Amino acid sequence: MSSEEQGIGRRYLQETRYLRSGLGERGPTYPTVPRYKEYPEAAERLVLAPGPHAPGADLWACLQARRSLRKYRDRPLSLEELTALVWAAQGVTLTSPPYLLRTAPSAGALYPVETYLAVHRVTGVAQGVWHLNIPDFALELLNQGDCRRPLVEACLSQQFMGSGAVAFIWTGILNRAMNKYRERAIRYLFLDAGHICQNLMLAATALGLGCCPVGAFFDEEVERLTQVDGVEEVALYLAAVGPVA
């Protein structure tokens, strides 16, 4: 099959291969972007308790029990449960300037994946879309209100995205990775998001909660919910979490 006959996905994989004869074309130079994103003008800010604070669970039992669960009860999550989930996904475990190393690995410790939360039912936390500020381990409220309907519609009408207590939304800031890894960085964005989501799923299992990841969505609609431009920062992945029905 000629390159002209291949789809864009196959062409991308071929053109970003590392070979003994060379690491591929370096391509254009990409600008440096800040390591951390924050919203100083956020309508509300909620600092979370640092570090793990959930009851212990057996890793092997969690691996055995982990499933994609889509049916949830109406019970809200507690703030402690939410904090444990957020920490498992992207908590800082070691400060090694200029890096903040986390529970999930990242290529070059660049951490181009940003975490947003669509909060539906969490005790003491307003409904709306929040952003996770990594250095302060705090949530920043971007848009207050019930976002269940637009979220479900953005995810191809998968109703469980609105029936869970919270939905995690991950985006990728392209130049944070492309500045170092050029075109191959796009591969790493999705690997990073997968590491983060697996952490979330295992944490949900340990807490007796259900979790289901979603890769099928209308990109522009998810990006509108998170207020990102869809060019320099793009939607990657989502997951719903809630008490198991």
pLDDT for 142 beyond 80: yes
Mention every residue, 6+ apart, whose C-beta is less than 8 A from residue 79: 122, 123, 124, 125
Instruction: List the domains of the chain with CATH numbers.
Output: 8-243 (3.40.109.10)
**Out of 11-20, 26-35, 46-55, 131-140, which region has the weakest mean confidence (pLDDT)?**
46-55
Please report the pLDDT score of residue 55 as a whole number. 75
What's the pTM? 0.95
pLDDT for 54 beyond 80: no
How sure is the predictor about 6, in pLDDT bands with cuts at 50, 70 and 90? confident
Share of the chain above pLDDT 90, in %: 89
pLDDT for 191 beyond 80: yes
Tell me the Cα Rg of the chain: 18
Share of the chain above pLDDT 70, in %: 96
Average pLDDT over residues 90-100: 96
Please report the pLDDT score of residue 26 as a whole number. 65
pLDDT for 57 beyond 70: yes
Residue 235, beta-bridge partner list: 171
- Distance (Å, whole) CA 120 – CA 153: 15
Average pLDDT over residues 219-229: 98
pLDDT for 129 beyond 70: yes
Please give the mean pLDDT across all residues of the chain: 95
> DSSP readout, the chain?
--TTTS-HHHHHHHHT--BTTBS----S------SS---TT-S-EEEPPPS--SPP--HHHHHHH--B---B-SPPBPHHHHHHHHHHHH-EEEEETTEEEESS--GGG---EEEEEEESSBTTB-SEEEEEETTTTEEEEEEES--HHHHHHHTTT-THHHHSSEEEEEEEEHHHHHHHHGGGHHHHHHHHHHHHHHHHHHHHHHTTEEEEEE----HHHHHHHHT--SSSEEEEEEEEEEEB-
How far lies 102's CA from each of 109, 135, 192, 245, in Å?
9, 11, 11, 31
Does residue 239 contact residue 160 with C-beta atoms inside 8 Å? no
Most confident of 21-35, 48-62, 152-166: 152-166
Tokens for 126, please give them.
């307003």
How sure is the predictor about 192, in pLDDT bands with cuts at 50, 70 and 90? very high
Average pLDDT over residues 216-222: 98
Please report the pLDDT score of residue 222 as a whole number. 98
pLDDT for 1 beyond 70: no
Average pLDDT over residues 51-61: 83
Burial 57-86 (b: 16+ CB within 10 A, else e): eeeeebeeeeeebbebeeebbeeebbbbbb
